Chain A
């Protein structure tokens, strides 16, 4: 059975000229000559030079294969077309040529003049500042009804930036590693009720860390415009009980958590790419010598004889990392209210400067430690005046003298 069949005989098997002649014959005798055409319109302005086409087919393969001196010579010959093209007025590059992605995607200010770019940037910065300033007083802004904390209520969490790690010491002189998480521009974006979401609890969408609005379409900005906040880099959902709902637009701070309580931190792990079975699953591999032929890091046997199949979920090589993982039950040692930093015990998934999702721990062991938190969240314009640093009772503060065992 062949996958290709010749096209059906008919109009499509003729060339264009033949088709025109046939059509003219079918139409009949030539119609009377048309009236003289009107005077030609003024010539349109010359179109801008077309963007240089990325090479296709053989030329692209040649470019890819370019290596060593011969490759650079080929590149120079092929790239003559790129380098001859004049840079567009919006382009700021110091180089004379434009390097384009394979699909020739454009960046947001490619077709804008420099003045317009500066103006847009200035306007966006001012708008961001105004939006942030307008949200600084949530309690004066008709907040939704506040309720008291009960042991069954689940409150919202926070989106933070992982800054790095450092050691701290306890009062008994033991060293503990802590991770610094900075709560940067965290705002509540939307409230989704239980019926709307179809889940068991209501949901609150929370966003963190302001980003430039220019690289996304207008449709992506709807949720931020509704809440009246700048565009955020990460948007997550928190399942909350009905007594813990917060009005969209409320800022969230690090003081939402207190030292001594326990949190769960979720983030995307560092991506390691395609990895073999030894790194990904911790297999032992095979010995380096003593007769092993080309087998040092392989999985070995993947199933038994009786099974006569490979089970689903068999550990095999594949993409490792870049998936969401949670560290449970991390103690909060210290809160810095001036810079909005949470000092969390141990390590947290993700690379430095990645965005993480922090929420109260749902492990049953720490139910007693998370009693009476600021509910539904900490309001900066409320009555509470917090000092710049809040420490856990067990933590050694550097204002104290050295530890002595009496």
Chain B
């Protein structure tokens, strides 16, 4: 019996010695000969992709209330009306730079409805009065139409191409070459997978010769999507109007993260019903 025990311990010692070369904490030979302490395995990190996706999901900019002294009750009532409208009529997610087709009711058209296709160049307004401007060039004539998102006369909003651009405001397309604002009226919707990130079109637009409607080279517009072919000295002269202190102005800071989180929660509850 004693001999077997000795054998076993010899074998164990050999195993321990052998496996001591590898740095396995469970098998490390402790200096004072005591059995090694049990180290539990590291906990797995669970990445909840669903909640992450919900947090990153699009919140329409007209839901975020502007900074002011208005009672939040007024924004709450407006949001209730907006949610009610969204339950009945689908307002899709879109950004400035996406191509949309909007069908509105028109008492004077033969079909009593009108369809317009264009690129969204601006999204303005807050609350129920939110608007978006669509631009297209039809028979060499530039046409811009400003639609109200919550107007009851809109019968359908279809996103033909969902993409973002380098700027939040594409008003400079008025002074760009017409090819950048022309979109086929019978364009087919571009198919897109749900989980894909929104593509950013890094297109740099070429402009018509100056004069433009606004001096787009000036830093106050902060335009990244124009390929400026102006001479160097003109670009340098435009930097004279830069206001580098503006980004450090603390009174202009408006942190919407908490407000956004609350509104997202409210929206997901109400629209999920």
Residues of A within 8 A of B (CB): 161, 163-164, 166-169, 173, 175, 180, 182, 336, 339, 341, 352-353, 396, 398-406
Contact = CB atoms under 8 A, between A and B. Distances in A.
Contacts of A341: 77
Given A161-B71, A400-B88, 14 more contacts: A163-B71, A164-B74, A166-B129, A167-B148, A173-B105, A173-B151, A182-B73, A352-B68, A398-B85, A398-B88, A401-B88, A402-B153, A403-B152, A405-B107
Nearest to B155: A402
Instruction: Say which size band chain B's interface belongs to.
Output: 20 to 34
A353 B129 contact: no
Contacts of A401: 88-89
Given A167-B128, A403-B105, A405-B106, A175 B148 contact: yes
B151 A175 contact: yes
Name the prevailing secondary structure of the B interface residues: mixed
B212 to A, nearest CB: 27
A341 B74 CA distance: 10
B74 A163 contact: yes
Contact of A402 (B74, B127, B148, B154): B154
A404 B105 contact: yes
A168 B113 CA distance: 21
B81 interface: yes
B242 interface: no
Contact of B70 (A163, A398, A404): A163
Interface of B: 68-71, 73-74, 77-78, 81, 84-85, 88-89, 105-107, 112-113, 127-129, 148, 150-155
A368 B89 CA distance: 37
A175 B131 CA distance: 13
A353 B77 contact: no
A147 B151 CA distance: 44
Contact of A353 (B69, B88, B148, B154): B69
Contacts of A336: 77
Contacts of A353: 69-71
B155 A404 contact: yes
Contacts of A173: 105, 151-153
B69 A352 contact: yes
B112 A399 contact: no
Nearest to B148: A175
Task: Name the residue in B73, B77, B150 with the highest tally of chain A Cβ atoms < 10 Å from its Cβ.
Answer: B77
A181 to B, nearest CB: 11
Nearest to B107: A405
B85 A404 contact: no
B205 to A, nearest CB: 34
Nearest to A182: B73
Contacts of B154: 402
Given A352-B69, A352-B70, A402-B89, A169 B112 contact: no
A339 B73 contact: yes
Nearest to A172: B107
A166 B151 contact: no
A353 B73 CA distance: 11
Contact of B88 (A168, A180, A399, A405): A399
Nearest to B89: A402
B106 A166 contact: no
A400 B89 CA distance: 10
A406 B89 CA distance: 19
Contacts of B153: 169, 173, 402-403
* Most chain B CB within a 10 A radius of its CB, from A164, A352, A396, A398: A398
Given A175-B148, A175-B151, A403-B152, A398 B73 contact: no
Contacts of B105: 173, 402-405
Nearest to B156: A402
Nearest to B112: A405
